[in-house]
């Protein structure tokens, strides 16, 4: 998910076709007066979304189970017939046949919707069951680790997703009552469709267990109402956390929020969400059903529409990955290990046949595109009606406007380092 349109979106009258690039830069984005949230995780404040740094993020909740996860720590986890490996992550079903294997951590719940999830690496175990309990009722789902599917569930919702690095995220959600309950990871044998394992020492590696309340919001308020048609989000994990996102505004400033749309990002790529123009200074993102969701950059404004489209000689940033890898080699040249240090994309945007009046009105001067990208990142969708790519350009080098010698027509472009979701 990168370029997204409001359900039922139609191009407003007077707008240029969606083959023309859309850009949101600091000079035209709504100036942010304040940022706040319904809840904040420790060291992950709502104010993080005000700046353009991808390292500072808002996270709505702390993990209510042990974090980082060490399944061998009996102060938190109680294994029943599971054998926990020395790494504190590997679960071995053992050799006893026909019995349940599970590992449990007690939690205290307040009334509300909760999510429980795990991030795992597949090994030889064929399935897992996740369980949430509020002291009275239990809710669960069974997951097939071979087909990456949900087999059955009593929880209100369940999902499984493979991440780009091969890790697997499983999560369930359900409304819980206040009480002394628990979360549980149970072995599930898909061959017999039962949680009673056959006892053949199959294993799975649990990298992280996560549980917390489900729903929270973050909002930004401007100094004054601004006519806007795009919401931009960068450096988030809404796809890998399997979150749902509701985009909202409060144009009347009466604390009655209106949902523009609800989306479920399929990945962690930059989002440019286009909608029918709305004038407001209050904007909000409500996130729910995701495990430990995070958002770094949140912007709203009316996108600059480039006067001319372009297509040729363009390489999407995701196709042009700039990767720094540290490799360790033996004295005889054998590969001992590899570490991924940094990943970003690079690309170039180039427009021709721009009129001089358009260049002067939109590119040159204080608050215009060129001076804005000297100091702040920008969002760009190069052909939003045809291509899914939306980029968060962190650093740009400008190819300044130049007359091409045909009447008053000019060329302009810039190259940039683009944030990638690894």
Reported confidence tier of residue 354, pLDDT bands at 50, 70, 90: very high
CATH number given to 3-61+215-302? 2.60.120.260
What was the pLDDT predicted at 192? 76
Q: Is the pLDDT of residue 374 over 70?
A: yes
Q: Is the pLDDT of residue 339 over 90?
A: no
Q: Is the pLDDT of residue 196 over 70?
A: no
Q: What is the 3-state secondary structure (H, E, C) of the chain?
A: CCEEECCCCCCCCCCCCCCCCEEECCCCECCEEEEEECCCECCECHHHHHCCCCCCCECCCCCCCCCCCCCCCCCCEEEEECEECCCCCEEECCCCCCEECEEEEEEEECCEEEEEEEEEECCCCCEEEEEEECCCCEEEEEEECCCCEEEEECCCEEEEEECCCCCEEEEEEEEECCEEEEEEEEECECCCCECEECCCCCEEEEEEEEEEECCEEEEEEEEEEEEEEEEEEEEECCCCCCCEEEEEECCCCCCCCEEEEEECCCCCCCEEEEEEEEEEEEEEEEEECCCCCCEEEEEEECCEECCCCCCCCCCCHHHCEEEEEEEEECCCCCEEEEEEEEEEEEEEEEEEEEEHHHHHHHCCCCCCHHHHHHHCCEEEECCCCCCCCCEEEEEEEEEEEEECCCCCEEEEEEEEEECCCC
For tokens 């009334």, the residue is: 111
Tens-place pLDDT, residues 150-178? 999 999 999 999 999 899 999 999 999 99
Tens-place pLDDT, residues 200-209? 889 999 999 9
Query: 246 to each of 62, 219, 228, 251, how far by Cα in Å?
Result: 21, 12, 17, 16
Cβ atoms of 309 and 17 closer than 8 Å: yes
What was the pLDDT predicted at 160? 98
Q: Is the pLDDT of residue 326 over 90?
A: no
Query: 274 to each of 23, 145, 300, 302, 397, how far by Cα in Å?
Result: 11, 36, 10, 10, 26
pTM: 0.92
Q: Answer whether CATH 3.40.50.10860 is correct for domain 77-213.
A: no
In whole angstroms, what is the distance from residue 329 CA to residue 191 CA? 42
Reported confidence tier of residue 335, pLDDT bands at 50, 70, 90: confident
User: Please, how many CA atoms are within 13 Å of residue 238, restricted to the half-sphere of its CB?
Assistant: 28
What was the pLDDT predicted at 342? 67
Q: What are phi and psi of 420, to 5 degrees?
A: -120, 150
The CATH 2.60.120.260 domain(s) of the chain lie at: 3-61+215-302, 77-213
Tens-place pLDDT, residues 274-300? 999 999 999 999 999 999 999 999 999
As beta bridge partners, residue 396 has 416
Q: What are phi and psi of 374, to 5 degrees?
A: -70, -25
What was the pLDDT predicted at 140? 96
Tens-place pLDDT, residues 301-317? 999 999 999 887 788 87
In whole angstroms, what is the distance from residue 391 CA to residue 125 CA? 39
Phi-psi region of 332 (alpha: psi -120 to 50; beta: other; left: phi over 0): alpha
Other CB atoms closer than 10 Å to residue 262's CB: what's the count? 13
pLDDT over 90, % of the chain = 81
Short-list 285, 136, 291, CA closest to 213? 291
Cβ atoms of 233 and 391 closer than 8 Å: no
pLDDT over 70, % of the chain = 97
């Amino acid at each position: 998910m990168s370029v997204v349109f409001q359900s039922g979106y139609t191009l407003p009258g007077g707008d240029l076709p969606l083959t023309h690039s859309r850009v949101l830069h600091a000079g035209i984005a709504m100036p942010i007066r304040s940022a706040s949230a319904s809840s904040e995780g420790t060291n992950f404040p709502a104010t993080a979304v005000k700046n353009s740094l991808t390292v500072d993020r808002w996270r709505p909740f702390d993990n209510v189970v042990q974090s980082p996860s060490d399944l061998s720590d009996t102060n938190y986890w109680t294994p029943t017939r599971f054998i926990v490996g020395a790494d504190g992550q590997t679960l071995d079903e053992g050799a006893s046949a026909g019995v349940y294997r599970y590992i449990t951590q007690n939690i205290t719940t307040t009334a509300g919707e909760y999510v429980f999830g795990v991030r795992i690496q597949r090994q030889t175990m064929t399935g897992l069951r996740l369980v949430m309990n509020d002291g009275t009722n239990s809710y669960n789902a069974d997951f097939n680790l071979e087909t990456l599917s949900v087999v059955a569930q009593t929880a209100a919702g369940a999902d499984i997703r493979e991440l780009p690095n091969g890790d697997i995220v499983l999560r369930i959600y359900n409304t819980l009552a206040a009480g002394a309950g628990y979360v549980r990871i149970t072995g599930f044998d898909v061959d017999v469709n039962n949680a009673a394992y056959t006892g053949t020492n199959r294993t799975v590696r649990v990298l992280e267990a996560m549980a917390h309340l489900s729903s929270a919001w973050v909002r930004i308020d401007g100094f004054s109402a601004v006519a806007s048609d795009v919401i931009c989000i960068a450096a988030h994990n809404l796809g890998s956390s399997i979150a749902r996102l509701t985009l909202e505004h409060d144009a009347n400033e009466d604390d009655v929020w209106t949902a523009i749309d609800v989306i479920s990002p399929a990945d962690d790529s930059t989002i440019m969400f286009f909608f029918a123009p709305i004038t407001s200074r209050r904007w909000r993102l409500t996130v729910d059903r995701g495990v430990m969701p995070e958002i770094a950059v949140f912007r709203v404004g009316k996108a600059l529409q480039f006067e001319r489209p372009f297509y040729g000689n363009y390489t999407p940033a995701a196709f042009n990955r700039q990767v720094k890898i540290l490799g360790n080699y033996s004295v005889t040249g054998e590969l001992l290990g590899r570490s991924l240090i940094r990943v970003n994309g690079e690309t170039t945007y180039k427009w021709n046949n721009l009129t001089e009046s358009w260049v002067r009105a939109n590119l040159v001067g204080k608050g215009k595109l060129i001076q804005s990208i000297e100091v702040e990142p920008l969002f760009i969708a190069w052909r939003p009606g045809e291509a899914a790519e939306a980029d968060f350009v962190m650093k740009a080098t400008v190819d300044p406007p130049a007359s091409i010698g045909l009447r008053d027509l000019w060329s302009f472009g810039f190259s940039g380092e683009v944030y990638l979701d690894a």
